[in-house]
């Protein structure tokens, strides 16, 4: 079966409730932009599009069972994990919507968004310069991921991040910056508001078999690196 033959949607499902919950969290923080979401092959927020894709398998229990059988896990398969990833992806969407990476102050705090993504990275597990939100110390992998992770921690209700990171001065300074930045942008219309999807299921014509064969090659091969502290992106 090809992706464009699946005919699944997250409308009326638990995923839609998660998206609505995310929008509520943004509204409570006076963030005007509401990232749009669509189904695709995996989680991602495309360059230039202020929204994010949700992996197809979360839209149906049978597809979630297939994902677990093929990959051994279901990323985002619970409400709490799904919300954590959505907050992270919302950070990417907000960065795009308000072109935050073009601001000199943003670059001073997080770095240049043009920094190439590494094929793999070796995180410093003892570092207190980065927040910890998604697994594998993901904030250390790239400036964009550093911002998205920091934004996700800032957005999560009842996070108490000032108390949590009180002994992590660099990470706390990033959170304080995001807090001040979002206050500055409160209620402001974003300059980038396009709501088109990128690679929705209807435009993907390869088979599920080819998809999983490629993913197994991509994720299973780096396991030897992970034992030495290297993590695949």
Q: What is the pLDDT of residues 139-166, one digit of tens each?
A: 999 999 999 999 999 999 999 999 999 9
| The predicted structure's pLDDT at residue 72 | 92
pLDDT in tens, 64-96: 999 999 999 999 999 999 999 999 999 999 999
Which residue range forms the structural domain that includes residue 59?
3-232
**pTM > 0.75: yes or no:** yes
CA 166: distance to chain centroid? 25
| The predicted structure's pLDDT at residue 118 | 87
Number of domains in the chain: 1
The DSSP result for 9-22, as a single string, is --TTSHHHHHHHHH
| Long-range contacts of residues 98-106, Cβ cutoff 8 Å, at least 24 apart | 98/33, 98/185, 98/188, 98/190, 98/191, 98/192, 99/191, 99/192, 100/147, 100/181, 101/143, 101/144, 105/177, 105/181, 106/147, 106/181
């Amino acid at each position: 079966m090809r992706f464009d033959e699946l005919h699944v949607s997250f409308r009326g499902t638990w995923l839609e409730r998660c998206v609505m919950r995310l929008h509520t969290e943004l509204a409570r923080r006076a963030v005007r932009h509401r990232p749009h979401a669509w189904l695709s092959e995996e989680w991602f927020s495309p360059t230039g599009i202020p929204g994010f894709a949700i992996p197809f398998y979360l839209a149906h229990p049978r597809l979630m069972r297939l994902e677990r059988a093929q990959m051994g896990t279901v990323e985002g398969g619970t409400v709490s994990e799904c919300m954590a990833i959505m907050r992270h992806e919302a950070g990417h969407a907000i960065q795009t919507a308000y072109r935050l990476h073009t601001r000199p102050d943003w670059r001073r705090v997080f770095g240049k968004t043009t920094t190439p993504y590494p094929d793999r990275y070796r995180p410093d597990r003892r570092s207190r310069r980065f927040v910890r939100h998604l697994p594998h110390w993901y904030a250390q992998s790239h400036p964009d991921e550093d911002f998205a992770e920091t934004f996700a921690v800032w957005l999560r209700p009842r996070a108490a991040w000032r108390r949590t990171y009180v002994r992590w001065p660099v990470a706390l300074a990033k959170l304080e910056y995001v807090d001040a930045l979002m206050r500055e942008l409160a209620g402001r219309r974003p300059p980038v508001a396009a709501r088109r999807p990128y690679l929705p299921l209807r435009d993907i014509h390869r088979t599920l078999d080819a998809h999983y064969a490629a993913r197994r090659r991509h994720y299973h091969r780096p396991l030897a690196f992970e034992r030495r502290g290297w993590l695949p992106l």
